[in-house]
Chain A
Amino acid sequence: MFDLRSIIAGVRALFRKKQMEREMDEELRGYLDAAVKEKVRSGMNQEEALRAARIEMGSMDAVKEEIRSAGWESTLETIWQDLRFGLRVLRRNPGFTAVAALTLALGIGGTAVVFSLLDAVLLRPLPYPYSERLFRLFPLEGKRKRGVEQASYADFRDWQRQTRTFESLAAYGGDSLNLTGTAEPERVQASTVTPGFFATLGVSPVLGREFRSDDAESVAILSYALWQRRFGGDAGIVGKPIHVEGRAYTVVGVLPPEVRFRSHPWATPASDIFVPVVPTPARNWHSVRVLGRLAPGVSKEQALAEINGIAARLKQAYPESEALGIAFEPLAQYVVSGADQTVWLLLGAVAFVLLIACANVANLLLSQGAAREREMAIRTAVGASRGRILRQLLTESLLLASSGGAIGIALAYWAIPLVVRIAPPFSSLFSRLEDAHLHLNWTVLGFSALLSALSSVLFGVLPAWKATRPAQSSFAASRAGGMRGGLMALEVALSLVLLVGAGLMMKSLIRLLEVDVGFRTEHLLTMQVSLSEAKYSTPEKQAAYFDQVLQRLAAMPAVLSAGTVTDLPLTRNETSNGFEIPGPHPGQGTAGYHALSAGYFRTMGIPLLNGRELEMGDSANSPLVGVINRSMAGKYWPNENPVGKTIVVYRFVAERTSAGTHVQFKPHMLAIVGIVSDIRQLGLDAPPDPELFMPYDQWPAQEMSLVLRVAAEPSSLIPRVEKEIWRVDPDQPVTDIKTMDEWVAREAAGRRFILLLIGAFASIAAVLAAVGIYGVASYGMRQRTHEIGVRMALGARGQQVVWLILRQNLSWLVIGIAAGIAGAFALTRLLASYLYSVRPTDASTFGLIVLVQLAIAALASFIPARRATKVDPMVALRYE
């Protein structure tokens, strides 16, 4: 119908409204006159004819309304009218409007915050062209064909040579490197990459070029950020040498600013420097991750078929290889691993808050609707159709939702940076948020607008439908009561689910922080030192460096004792390896391998249980000795004393040749000299595993952590400690300077993040539900003021009146709580992977939360009930 003629006519009607109205009046009057005349002609008298004609015609206003709505322009007009009228209605009830808008703001704002996380983590594509064609390839191993993160370099080369479905394959690995030279020494995140890596990503450097296969080993590509930060954006950087690990590397390129590559999803920060992968020919040495770009037009199925063929051929050629197959997954999926689950969980939780908010506002509107029954009746009487009133009410809802949405967006603007700040570091969630530079953006704004519209329908339709029903009958009234009660039950149920979730997380976190880590975490300062290979090329040089540093640190006045170890507890680092038990009953096992100084156990406060500690005398020239932990003793020597036993351990040896780095594990005999008690090594939530501790003089390492037990506040010592270490070697970066308590906090950060968010949502939900219950109870009380007056006049006591009001809500409350318990039972298993030593159906948490919810409900309904007892019977009786 939207042809030009109709548009012109409509516009003309809008501008010549008065004339159109006049003509319509005249035409209708003419119609009536003609009808009367006709009836008189057929024998009625004048009065009868007029009456009959009027009856036939019906309400003149209704007819006019019908005529007006025949043209499209009337829709515009009514929308405008509805908006103006709606605003007036909302202004007239400032209390109602404020409560409703704030309620919606909490729901919409909360959802906008979580949606912005979802947007940053899941929706935003990777910053590479055609990133949907990027995949990560990985080998499958073992009987169950478990996916292994890294492939061997040799396998990667074979895949690369044989594949046709992948346009290109490249390999990369993670590292961190010492940067020295012009500025302070620093340790930066690095990635090792093969030639063609950036072409596979689809990235071209802003300066210079990427690696070629004929490049020397010591070439480097810089991230844009490092180039700006450390080299002042020097435009002539390409071709210049920089000092990496004590050697000169030539810069060949600088990457564009949007490329923030991470060697694994939770590596923080993103890689700042890229150096070539050093080839390792051994097929059992898994050292690289593999990236592939699917050729255009090739399906995943085709690629899989080809890859399976390659795997089968390799298996035949190298039967001793552990690889049983090859699999691949989209790079985008790998990059968010784990974070997606968290984000969806939070979105689910916040959706509950939004639903509760909508239920609350729907309830408010229902109560309002009761107060506006007269208004609706009058409107119907003067010719408003049901659809017209419905539209009017929905416009009011939309206005309400829009104002709620606007406040919600303001809330989100304030809350998003807050959420980003508490995001747990070293998680893929953190990485994605960091890369996204998250803030309120158009996507989030658009989503919030959509959400406001959606919620206006959600909370507005039911009350509007109810308001346009010709009510009056007690049946309709009781049904409205049921609606109110049902909405209240829904709120109670949803908030109960959230509270149970928050309760479970809270219990997990408490349990986690209560874990006995096995050593004293307070007053411990830790830091990491990674020696450059070029400068500290021999084990003797490495050991000498740490000897000197430890001596200097131990001599500091505030330091009680100092030690060093390869893998600090609670840092998620561990090198584990196999060992063998020789003898008449040979056996083998796996343990974490740690090199440490003699003072480490004393510094940490880890008690010796049996035998002796490692001593200064255990030097490179004396027989290999080791101390094991109680778990290792219990697991491998359950019925005997392991002290004095000998085991075979394997030492990792890497040899550089022209063909690349040859790696192998060489066996050594080691005598167990002592047993120490267990500690939480890997993380707070990881139960103790077998661990083997060896003196670093015998088991040298380039990368060691230093631990100091101090008498002062640990972080106050940092500058002095750094200076002391730099006295030994001013070019040596010291990284990860943290107190042990900070490591503990970092361990709990992931669960703390979930708890804070779910806890916040649950608190909002509980408050909204309480407001909802309060609203329903006080409405019920107002409805029955008359009855209460009568009862009190007849001698009912306050208690009975309170009970009367409470009883009205009770059945709905019970239904809500029952549904909430059922819902929580069904849903808390989604939390399972975030819980620690608490089952998702933990009875005590459920019980406690139900009690809390009951208390909230009782209080929220008690206040209005109590007010009911204050009703003056005389006033109440006159109320009608």
Chain B
Amino acid sequence: MKSSELVQGTLDMLILKTLALEPLHGYGIALRIEQISKGVFRVNPGSLFPAFRRLERAGWIKPEWRPTGNNRRAKFYQLTTLGRKQLKAETEEWARQLAAITRIMRAPAIGNL
């Protein structure tokens, strides 16, 4: 299956959404996005990690080092209260935009009339 580039600006929202269920580490988030989108979206680390840094700076997610067995640890990210609010706002905005775009796409093509 061909994977697509993410729609501009939606990565942050997808990360927040993924973290809404449970805290995850970097690869976990990437994998979750890929699985849920049935492989349509593939996120590479080059955009994933800067996004973490951005969201962290904004105070929407919070990192936490957790042990992962055999004496290793991983950086898990979890949603903050602020992040939850942001996710809600972004979800609503997304729904609104999506509806609008759908309406436009369904409208009869004037040129063909």
Contacts and interface: CB of A to CB of B under 8 A. Distances in A.
Interface of A: 1, 5-6, 9-10, 23-24, 26-28, 30-31, 33-35, 38, 56-58, 62-63, 66-67, 69-71
Given A1-B57, A9-B57, A30-B75, A66 B47 contact: yes
B49 A35 contact: no
B99 interface: no
A63 B74 contact: no
A30 B74 contact: yes
Given A30-B74, A38-B31, A66 B50 contact: yes
Contacts of A38: 27, 31
25 contacts: A5-B58, A6-B57, A10-B57, A23-B75, A24-B49, A27-B25, A27-B74, A27-B75, A28-B49, A30-B25, A30-B26, A30-B68, A30-B73, A31-B26, A33-B72, A34-B26, A35-B27, A57-B45, A58-B45, A58-B46, A63-B46, A66-B50, A67-B49, A70-B50, A70-B54
Contacts of A71: 53, 57
Given A6-B57, A30-B73, A58-B45, 17 more contacts: A1-B57, A26-B73, A30-B68, A30-B74, A30-B75, A31-B27, A31-B30, A34-B25, A38-B31, A57-B45, A58-B46, A63-B45, A66-B47, A67-B50, A67-B53, A70-B51, A70-B57
Interface residues of B, number: 24
Interface in B27-80: 27-28, 30-31, 44-47, 49-51, 53-54, 56-59, 68, 72-75
B44 A57 contact: yes
A28 B25 CA distance: 10
B57 A30 contact: no
B46 A66 contact: yes
* Most chain A CB inside 10 Å of its own CB: which residue of B45, B49, B59, B73: B45
Nearest to B31: A38
Q: Which applies to chain A's interface (DSSP): helix, strand, loop or mixed? A: helix
The 8 closest A-B pairs by CB, nearest first: A34-B27, A70-B50, A70-B53, A67-B49, A30-B74, A31-B26, A27-B75, A6-B57
B12 to A, nearest CB: 12
Nearest to A65: B46
Contact of A56 (B44, B53, B75): B44
Contacts of A31: 25-27, 30, 45
Nearest to B29: A31
A6 B49 CA distance: 17
Contacts of A67: 49-50, 53
Contacts of B54: 70
Nearest to B26: A31
A34 B50 contact: no
Contacts of A27: 25-26, 49, 74-75
Contacts of B49: 24, 27-28, 63, 66-67, 70
A58 B44 contact: yes
B55 to A, nearest CB: 10
Contacts of A63: 45-46, 49
A385 to B, nearest CB: 10
Contacts of B26: 27, 30-31, 34
Nearest to B82: A5
A34 B57 contact: no
Nearest to B74: A30
B58 A30 contact: no
